[in-house]
């Protein structure tokens, strides 16, 4: 065969092979993307390919608001975790109002989502709407804060922090630090800028402080809610300075944004947030460790200690849903591991209930 005939023969073979594949006479079944149907006629003799499960899992996420750096990081973590094939995330920002969150949950029920994820603003008032979700056969996963309901079967599981343990770590650090600095217990006079009243984080952090005040014979001068925001933290601190003049030695803020606001008020009053109580500094304690500004203040010693509160729950929630999709039963309560930060050299570790925690540099 001359060259031209050979080339023509090769082209014919190629056309025959291509026709075989495209008409399904070969083994391949091509699925048109996204339809779940074979895009091309199937070969009746070919082994039945398992129908691909193109069911997308729809998750309705009711976030409580956007009050803090922690909340923003928590939301971002959820959005990223579900920005992947097989999931659709419906996100609703409750803007700090439980009524908005209840409306969001009812909307998710009407939309017949597969799962509801709830980050509740405060603990009470959820029984009715969670019963509606149960009656609709939609599992509810709680993230971050908890709910106080008569029937715990109204939610499948929860993932978040042990807020009272965070407080026990922070007050253990304060106890060790004041001992190292030779500060007598009657000098440890504290004001407490609380978080959103009735939220699990506030309840745990306030309770932990109250127990430590009692156990160490410290003095709690006053407590007031800063609602986990910088603005309220500044306002509450200014009011405390007006009321207690130079009696305050320790400022216990229940999150970083309050601590940043409190330090603004302290410095506006010509005082210093710092490590030297005997020089008249005010020692600021905080929680979260999410805000870059707060971590910088901690590196400078203007925040003395931060008990970490980890916001990155997105992958954890997705893992719980994947367990449920496999028919497995997750733990009811899933706690995250958390650290403690301070740049002050005096205390490099604390021990709580026999567990040693290294004090890490911020």
The site for ligand GZL (CB under 6 A) is made up of 67-68, 70-71, 144-145, 161, 201, 228, 255, 287-288, 309
In whole angstroms, how close is the CB of 251 to ligand GZL at the nearest point? Answer: 16
CB of 219 to ligand GZL, least distance (A): 25
Residue 161, C-beta contacts closer than 8 angstroms, at least 6 positions apart: 144, 201, 309, 310, 335, 336, 338
Q: What angle in degrees, to the nearest 10, is found between the helix axes of 292-299 and 256-268?
A: 60
Task: Between 146 and 318, name the residue whose CB sits nearer to ligand GZL.
Answer: 146
Instruction: Identify which of 54, 147, 80 has the alpha carbon closest to the alpha carbon of residue 316.
Output: 80
155 neighbors 129 (Cβ within 8 angstroms): no
Q: Which is nearer to ligand GZL, 31 or 91 (CB)?
A: 91
Q: How far is the CB of 309 from ligand GZL (least distance, A)?
A: 5
Nearer to ligand GZL, 104 or 294 (CB): 294
CA distances from 22 to 16, 25, 42, 43, 44 (A): 10, 8, 10, 10, 14
56/214 Cα distance (integer angstroms): 53
**Cβ closest to ligand GZL, residue 60 vs residue 204:** 204
Whose Cβ is closer to ligand GZL: residue 178's or residue 290's? 290
- Shortest Cβ distance from residue 121 to ligand GZL (Å)? 9
Q: Give the Cα separation of 290 and 274 in Å (integer).
A: 20
Which residue of the chain is nearest ligand GZL when measured via CB? 70
Q: Smaller CB distance to ligand GZL: residue 198 or 330?
A: 198
- The least distance separating ligand GZL from the CB of residue 222, rounded to whole angstroms, comes to 21
Concatenated DSSP letters of 211-258: HHHHHHT-EEEEEEE-TT-HHHHHHHHHHHHHHHTT---EEEESSHHH
What backbone phi and psi angles, to 5 degrees, belong to 27? -90, -20
To the nearest whole angstrom, how small is the minimum distance from the Cβ of residue 98 to ligand GZL?
A: 14
């Amino acid at each position: 065969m001359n060259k031209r005939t050979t080339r023509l023969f090769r082209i014919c073979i190629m056309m025959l092979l291509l026709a075989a594949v495209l008409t399904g006479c070969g083994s391949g079944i091509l699925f048109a993307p996204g339809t779940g149907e074979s895009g091309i006629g199937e070969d009746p003799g070919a082994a039945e390919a398992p129908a691909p499960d193109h069911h997308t899992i729809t998750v309705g996420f009711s976030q409580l608001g956007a009050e803090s750096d922690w909340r923003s990081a928590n939301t971002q973590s959820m959005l990223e975790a579900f920005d992947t094939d097989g999931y659709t995330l419906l996100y609703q920002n409750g803007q700090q109002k439980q009524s908005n969150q209840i409306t969001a949950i009812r909307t998710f029920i009407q939309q017949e989502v597969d799962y509801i994820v709830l980050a509740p603003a405060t603990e009470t008032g959820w029984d009715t709407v969670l019963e509606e979700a149960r009656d609709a056969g939609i599992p509810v996963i709680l993230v971050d804060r908890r709910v106080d309901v008569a029937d715990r079967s109204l939610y499948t599981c929860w993932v978040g922090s042990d807020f009272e343990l965070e407080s026990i770590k922070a007050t253990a650090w304060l106890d060790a630090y004041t001992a190292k600095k030779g500060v007598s217990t009657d000098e440890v006079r504290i004001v407490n800028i609380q978080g959103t009243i009735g939220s699990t984080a506030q309840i745990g952090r306030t309770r932990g402080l109250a127990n430590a005040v009692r156990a160490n014979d410290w003095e709690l001068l006053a407590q007031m809610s800063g609602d986990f925001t910088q603005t309220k933290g500044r306002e509450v601190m200014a009011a405390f300075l007006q009321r207690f003049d130079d009696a305050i030695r320790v400022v216990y803020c229940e999150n970083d944004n309050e601590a940043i606001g409190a330090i603004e008020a302290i410095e506006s009053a010509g005082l210093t947030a710092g490590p030297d109580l005997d020089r008249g500094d005010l020692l600021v304690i905080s929680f979260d460790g999410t805000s870059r500004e707060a971590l910088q203040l901690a590196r400078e010693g203007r925040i003395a200690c931060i008990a970490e509160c980890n916001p990155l729950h997105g992958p954890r929630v997705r893992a719980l849903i994947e367990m449920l999709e496999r028919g497995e039963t997750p733990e009811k309560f899933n706690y995250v591991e958390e650290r403690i930060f301070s740049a002050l050299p005096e205390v490099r570790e604390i021990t709580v209930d026999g567990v040693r925690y290294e004090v890490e540099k911020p």
